[in-house]
Chain A
């Protein structure tokens, strides 16, 4: 547990933003990351649970169904909402059961874990991110240039055909590299984890062209490049 110095629970977005204007204050979403260590700090936690950001609906659009999800929707809810979609499988892989019921969509975006399969799945789902300043940006932009604004919700495409291939030490291990793809109509997008500082969209015909993987004890940069190619090929074959 971080040694947060104070706890706030605002009841509306305006109050939350007012509190978060102070740089010592950090948003507390699910808490699976922020609350998970004992690093001393003078941070103050601003709990977002009462802001009403926990709804999820599916909207039919001309381009197919779009999912509108509040930032405080838990990953487990996301999984149950879309049992047959790529996003559900990605949410399941993200965390085990007792943490998935806490972790939120907004928190997952804020943490921007390079190994997040869920973020990769959202990237290939044409995900846009609503922020408290009223703007809407693509998830890809948010991940590469996060800023300090609060995520309030996302919109993403569901349906079509999806594919997820991953290589890890064990079947449900955080993947060394994962490739996630979705086809909607003729359009296919692919994203990778484990090859860049955040999950990234890649060119399916040249998945290693723009990545510079890091090496760690789970996999060297060379090996990660290898996986990027192999797993992307598999995703492409499956969604094609």
Chain B
């Protein structure tokens, strides 16, 4: 061990370290929990600190290198209850979503403003270039730095809220307007809010409230899974397969077990073989159950072989190297089309995996759904003067890339129940699914979801909880397992690659007669979400346009790629890329204006959602439904009008703009995509909430919903506060813990605001009813329903009032004592679609094929945005991820199925200093089925960017590219072919 001393936050710090221990590890050991792991290579910047005043990634600084230096973490700012002005600025503009890298951002700002008190945007973005953010698109962090600079210069901060923009339509129809008029002016971080007359003014809902967890995030307080210390905790490491497909002939773990400090080595030879499916979905999990904790066969590079629990990570890694594994290497297949061919290797040949549709062809599911008669429509097309268009698209594999990797810690509590503290989106599903694997009853397991550092679907699995559970049971010690960045790429979850073929029949008037969609979905070696993701591709790909005849056929296919699963958008981005590209090309082929063509066919209020009920986990059989759900609210026309004005759509007709004379190698283009998504899964997604009144008139609200950084806790709190007539600060939100909070299916399917929000509203209404009764009693009013709650008081019709605190004290301590509380749960029969218009401006270098995204703008109808700041943050972050999908991110493999770009350098995600301009419009509509009119917002921004970029490239250079991503060589080859 090496003795080291450095100045830590202004005080001497003396400790010891190993030669290879990083500064990050030593700082965390010193209690600086704001310094967080994102990758060993320092690329994420989540562990950035100030070293002698400079922002550095402490992952790549040896602790010994810091000896004699000055180290600053964000804890240095936490000298009292108040926030430092920099922290306050980030909080004020909603710049933290998950807040996983909050400390780094605050420190980077501090260092920048020290040397440049009035920084340019380029300087700000350059500073942020070292801190990867998968959530905000850097829009609000840039604004936060500007605001902090102003505050530190002594300028008074202005309120931060939406910019109200007048409507351009009557809601249903486009109205005449000057298409060349400039868009409203405002900072990019400010959402443009287009109000609806149907939406009443409210006290808390619709307001840009500060997030309920803002202080904890801004201060870097210990809030995440890894931010606890437990005596005797062991560290786990998984030995992973180097082969894409192999049988494990033998494992000899004797050398690993003999290593001092190793407490357990588990593999298929000593772990019960219990079949399961890892997808975090409602009971019963869809078949096939094709996984076990440890198998005698590996099916992708990175698959589990064994796991070690040891005193230190070094020992665990060394023990993994000492496990001798003999493999029989088998042929592998990565492409979903090849996997179906005769002679392809059979990936699940084990007899105990059942309900595989066609095992020999690796087809795990075959899905069909049809409305009308597509074959007849195609057969009669020529005779009817209709045109048939067929087009095939290929979409690729990408990763969610939460900056916080998967991490779980398990231990046996004082009653010897299993406690699993884990970064999960689905704590209740995880509890149910892990129970049989550990041979425990559900009641003997407690799953705690602390703060999550982003998930985007990657954590909608029971992914590593069984491993730490097994190890905690065997060792009877706490066990921690955290994936490293490479493991995140090869051993967590990804987006499904697909081959998508559309056939569309269009009549002479440009009306769709039929749409036929065939998808080959690549689910990798395990089913997980394979069935449901592809069904969502089907329903999204066939819902947003009306066609009397529709058919979806899908083969879900096993291959040997790293496992696809849930990823924000859940099948929609793939289908909508193909659909919006296909519709663009049809319009061009027919010589029609693309907006007009799409408008002729797109869904309107009152139209049926007629194929969705026939797809999914609870699909209705043909003839089962007497009535189909219908669209009850749509702001699509307004979205389109606002988006087209924002992007300057008219410039598409300006040759001088499209081919600038001063830059002869550049062609400019603008692309459009119409987007539609869903809001929760009807009859399936369920959320629960309980609310109780405290002595001081505040409320504790317990929810099972999981806030991944989305602002869900804030939004649910706002809903309850609105009902109860109190400010948001009086609602203390706690989520989620399977022992403490009500059940919730989890954070997915854009369900939290709609489902859990309705549960919160109803629980608050139940509490409100009792509060009114107590208030009526105190005020001597006969009619409790005449009592109105507002401003922390209950008002009688004559103006007399009693405070919430007085009601609480009376009910808890004085007379007829009772705990005023409300409990409710909600499951929806509806799935109201949010709508959106996505536009993108690009520049294409005709000599190199390089595409530069100049601007992205999206107008979204998400009903009533409960919090316009968090809602716009969702749109900004969603567009950023979608841009990566379109433009640069992709899994690359060698011939043996090994991923060759499993780190953030070669696997490119956008940095702050290269982002295009962005603009977000929130178009209000009143969705009567949602809480205070809300619909979903989190996933729809994933849907339109890829097709809009594709269509913009088409507009710029005239080439239609039907494969993602639009890398320079792909575009260049398309232009030159």
Given contacts A36-B42, A38-B317, A98-B57, A223 and B901 within 8 Å (CB-CB): no
- Is B530 at the interface (CB under 8 A from chain A)? no
Query: What is the distance, in angstroms, from A175's C-beta to the closest C-beta of chain B?
Result: 10
- Is B888 at the interface (CB under 8 A from chain A)? yes
A1-21 near B? 1/0 per residue, CB < 8 Å: 111111101000000000000
Q: Which A residues are in CB contact (< 8 Å) with B848?
A: 167, 226-227, 230-231
Q: Across the interface, name the chain B residue whose C-beta is closest to A33.
A: B60
Query: What is the distance, in angstroms, from A63's C-beta to the closest C-beta of chain B?
Result: 32
Task: Determine whether the beta carbon of A172 is less than 8 Å from that of B21.
Answer: no
Q: Which B residues are in CB contact (< 8 Å) with A3?
A: 20, 314
Q: Which A residues are in CB contact (< 8 Å) with B60?
A: 1, 31-32, 35-36, 99, 102
Q: Point out the residue from A36, A76, A170 that lies within 8 Å of B887, measured CB to CB.
A: A170
B295-303, B374-382, B782-790, B965-973 - the one binding chain A: B965-973
Q: Point out the residue from A31, A172, A219, A220 that lies within 8 Å of B62, measured CB to CB.
A: A31
B52-72 near A? 1/0 per residue, CB < 8 Å: 001111011110110100000
Q: Which A residues are in CB contact (< 8 Å) with B330?
A: none
Query: Which of A99, A170, A216 neighbours the largest number of chain B CB atoms within 10 Å of its CB?
Result: A170
A204-234 near B? 1/0 per residue, CB < 8 Å: 0000000000001111100100110011000
- Is B914 at the interface (CB under 8 A from chain A)? yes
Task: Determine whether the beta carbon of B968 is less than 8 Å from that of A172.
Answer: no
Q: Which A residues are in CB contact (< 8 Å) with B892?
A: 216-217
Q: Which B residues are in CB contact (< 8 Å) with A66?
A: none
Task: Determine whether the beta carbon of B914 is less than 8 Å from that of A223.
Answer: no
Task: Determine whether the beta carbon of B845 is less than 8 Å from that of A167.
Answer: yes
Query: What is the number of residues of chain A that contact chain B, defined by CB distance less than 8 Å?
Result: 49
Task: Determine whether the beta carbon of B22 is less than 8 Å from that of A97.
Answer: no
A129 to B318, CA, bound (A): 40
- Is B962 at the interface (CB under 8 A from chain A)? no
Task: Determine whether the beta carbon of A40 is less than 8 Å from that of B56.
Answer: no
Task: Determine whether the beta carbon of A169 is less than 8 Å from that of B967.
Answer: yes
Given contacts A98-B104, A169-B967, A7 and B19 within 8 Å (CB-CB): yes
Query: What is the distance, in angstroms, from B695's C-beta to the closest C-beta of chain A?
Result: 47
Q: Across the interface, name the chain B residue whose C-beta is closest to A5.
A: B19
Query: What is the distance, in angstroms, from B277's C-beta to the closest C-beta of chain A?
Result: 32
- Is B108 at the interface (CB under 8 A from chain A)? yes
A169 to B972, CA, bound (A): 12
Q: Which B residues are in CB contact (< 8 Å) with A35?
A: 22, 59-62
B126-134, B175-183, B410-418, B621-629 - the one binding chain A: B126-134
B149-157, B513-521, B904-912 - the one binding chain A: B904-912
A1 to B845, CA, bound (A): 40
- Is B321 at the interface (CB under 8 A from chain A)? yes
Task: Determine whether the beta carbon of A102 is less than 8 Å from that of B57.
Answer: yes
A227 to B972, CA, bound (A): 10
Q: Which A residues are in CB contact (< 8 Å) with B19?
A: 4-7, 44-45
Given contacts A38-B40, A98-B42, A98-B57, A168 and B887 within 8 Å (CB-CB): no
- Is B484 at the interface (CB under 8 A from chain A)? yes
- Is B227 at the interface (CB under 8 A from chain A)? no
Q: Point out the residue from B64, B104, B968 that lies within 8 Å of A176, measured CB to CB.
A: B968
Q: Across the interface, name the chain A residue whose C-beta is closest to B64.
A: A7
- Is A138 at the interface (CB under 8 A from chain B)? no
Q: Which A residues are in CB contact (< 8 Å) with B911?
A: 96, 170, 172
Q: Which A residues are in CB contact (< 8 Å) with B469?
A: none
Q: Which A residues are in CB contact (< 8 Å) with B48?
A: 98
Query: Which of A172, A216, A219 neighbours the largest number of chain B CB atoms within 10 Å of its CB?
Result: A172
A159-180 near B? 1/0 per residue, CB < 8 Å: 0000000011111111010000
Q: Which A residues are in CB contact (< 8 Å) with B850?
A: 167-168
Given contacts A28-B65, A96-B130, A230-B848, A37 and B968 within 8 Å (CB-CB): no
Given contacts A174-B905, A230-B847, A102 and B61 within 8 Å (CB-CB): yes
Task: Determine whether the beta carbon of A47 is less than 8 Å from that of B20.
Answer: no
Q: Across the interface, name the chain B residue whose C-beta is closest to A77.
A: B54
Q: Across the interface, name the chain B residue whose C-beta is closest to A173.
A: B908
Task: Determine whether the beta carbon of A28 is less than 8 Å from that of B130.
Answer: no
Query: What is the distance, in angstroms, from B8's C-beta to the closest C-beta of chain A?
Result: 18
A38 to B316, CA, bound (A): 13
Given contacts A1-B62, A167-B850, A169-B888, A220 and B969 within 8 Å (CB-CB): yes
Task: Determine whether the beta carbon of A169 is less than 8 Å from that of B887.
Answer: yes
Q: Point out the residue from A1, A9, A47, A220 that lies within 8 Å of B21, measured CB to CB.
A: A1
B871-905 near A? 1/0 per residue, CB < 8 Å: 00000000000000001101010000000110001
Given A35-B22, A226-B848, 10 additional A-B pairs, CB 8 A: A2-B20, A47-B65, A96-B43, A98-B131, A99-B43, A170-B910, A172-B913, A174-B905, A217-B900, A231-B848
Task: Report, nearest first, the 5 A-B pairs whose CB atoms are least far apart.
Answer: A98-B130, A217-B892, A97-B130, A169-B888, A171-B914
Query: Which A residues are within 8 Å of any B CB, using their own CB?
Result: 1-7, 9, 28, 31-32, 35-38, 40, 44-45, 47, 49, 74, 76, 92, 96-102, 167-174, 176, 216-220, 223, 226-227, 230-231
User: Could you show 16 A-B contacts with beta carbons less than 8 Å apart?
Assistant: A1-B62, A6-B19, A7-B64, A31-B60, A36-B42, A74-B54, A96-B43, A98-B104, A99-B57, A101-B55, A102-B56, A102-B57, A170-B910, A216-B900, A218-B967, A231-B848
